[in-house]
Amino acid sequence: MCLILFSYENHPRYKLVIAANRDEFYARSTQPAHFWEKESHILAGKDREAGGTWMGISKKGKLSMLTNFRDPMNIKSNAPSRGHLVSDYLLDGDDAYSYLKNLEASGATYNGFNLICGSIDKLHYFGNYQNGVHEISTGVHGLSNALLNTPWPKVKKGKADLQAALEAETISPESLFNLLYDDVYAKESDLPDTGVGLEKERMLSPLFIKSSHYGSRSSTVILIDKSNRVQFLERTYNIADFTSSTVSFEFQV
């Protein structure tokens, strides 16, 4: 994922509301969200090239999601795939805090990442560009390609739009998909400087990215209510004309 917006214990009906866009090169082969064949309790998409995933949830209530940290001057060509950080947690027996504490020792071997792991009742955050494992507080949060809640334009706008959506007693998944499909560029004066140049910063600035070779491939909406009923929807976009197809899953944790 390259944009994760979420509300944690901040709504009378839902304990967790997630709206996220996965940004990736169009040429990278991907399987849409599905229950995995061998690990049938895991619901996630799959990166066909490296085998990991960017976001997933299990029927046991484990949840994990990842963004890359943008630092083009420090890319390791031989680094392991970050997508396995998500799938390994979903498969691992450790709780989120223990898993992330163990990851601290090896985190530097990966290219930059932010990783959120937890259960449907408690979330923790770790990234290899900051120190320590942090429990996530209640409220509305946003994560893109910097640290959690770094006020990039897309994060500020996305958090405000999500907060507005939370005013509804029952949240429509479609309203969250509409929120995520926002391809308006940020103002040049508001753009971060991450070392990729002004033109690319502008291309990467919308919540929903479109370009000739890279962009928002899919959007995911997860709603978990107070009775632990999970709604998981993934919308995949056809990059030729941005038509879409949506898969939907519901289960009880």
Radius of gyration of the chain (CA): 17
Q: Whole-prediction pTM value?
A: 0.97
Q: How many CB atoms lie within 10 A of CB 130?
A: 13
Query: Can you tell me the mean pLDDT for 175-190?
Result: 98
Residue 164: partners with Cβ closer than 8 Å, 6 or more residues away: none
Q: In the prediction, which pLDDT does 175 show?
A: 98
Tens of pLDDT, residue by residue over 108-153, are 999 999 999 999 999 999 999 999 999 999 999 999 999 999 999 9
The type of residue at 3 is L
Q: What is the rounded distance in angstroms from the CA atom of residue 220 to the CA atom of residue 223?
A: 10
Under 8 Å between Cβ of 219 and 158? no
Q: What percent of the chain has pLDDT over 70?
A: 100
Q: What is the rounded distance in angstroms from the CA atom of residue 17 to the CA atom of residue 10?
A: 9
Q: From residue 138, how far is each of 9, 16, 19, 95, 117 by CA, in Å?
A: 5, 10, 16, 19, 15
| 31-44 exposure pattern, b = at least 16 Cβ within 10 A, e = fewer | eebeebeeeeebbb
Q: CA 55, 179, 116: angle at the middle one, nearest 5?
A: 25
Q: What fold is seen in the domain 3-252?
A: Penicillin V Acylase; Chain A (3.60.60)
Q: What percent of the chain has pLDDT over 90?
A: 98
Residue 238: partners with Cβ closer than 8 Å, 6 or more residues away: 244, 245
- What are the structural domain ranges in the chain? 3-252
Looking at the DSSP assignment, which residues form a beta bridge with residue 143? 4
Tens of pLDDT, residue by residue over 55-94, are 999 999 999 999 999 999 999 999 999 999 999 999 988 9
24: nearest Cα among 211, 191, 205:
211
